[in-house]
């Protein structure tokens, strides 16, 4: 089986994705309080409750918009078409 992405294409994708991630991490300078903070425990969750609320809220928002657009497009396609328009195509 042939891979959908060649090795050079995968390197470009990796470079682009890593660049955006590093820019996101480098935009805010560390504060002294952040540097002196004790590390989180080994058993602490990676995603906090607030983060989970934000993730789920944004997912619901995106799904609402996508399904609204999808159903609007389906309703538009189900309307009777002008037969003269089909003759011109």
Give per-residue pLDDT as tens, 16-45. Answer: 888 888 887 777 777 888 888 888 888 998
pLDDT at 20: 83
Token output for 10:
């995968």
Gap between the Cα atoms of 44 and 38, Å rounded: 13
Gap between the Cα atoms of 89 and 87, Å rounded: 5
Token output for 67:
């399904």
- What are the structural domain ranges in the chain? 4-38+46-78
Q: For residue 21, how many C-alpha atoms fall within 13 Å in the half-sphere facing its CB?
A: 6
Q: For residue 72, how many C-alpha atoms fall within 13 Å in the half-sphere facing its CB?
A: 6
**pLDDT tops 70 at residue 82:** no
**Cβ–Cβ < 8 Å for 13, 5:** yes
**pLDDT tops 70 at residue 48:** yes
The residue-averaged pLDDT of 2-10 equals: 81
Q: pTM of the entire structure?
A: 0.49
């Amino acid at each position: 089986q042939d891979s959908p992405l060649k090795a050079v294409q995968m390197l470009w994708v990796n470079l682009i994705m890593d660049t955006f991630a590093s820019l996101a991490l480098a935009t805010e300078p560390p504060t002294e309080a952040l540097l002196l903070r004790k590390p989180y425990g080994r058993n602490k969750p990676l995603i906090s409750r607030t983060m989970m609320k934000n993730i789920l809220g944004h997912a619901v928002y995106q799904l609402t918009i996508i399904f609204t657009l999808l159903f609007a497009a389906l309703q538009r396609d189900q309307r009777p078409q002008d037969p003269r328009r089909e003759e011109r195509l």
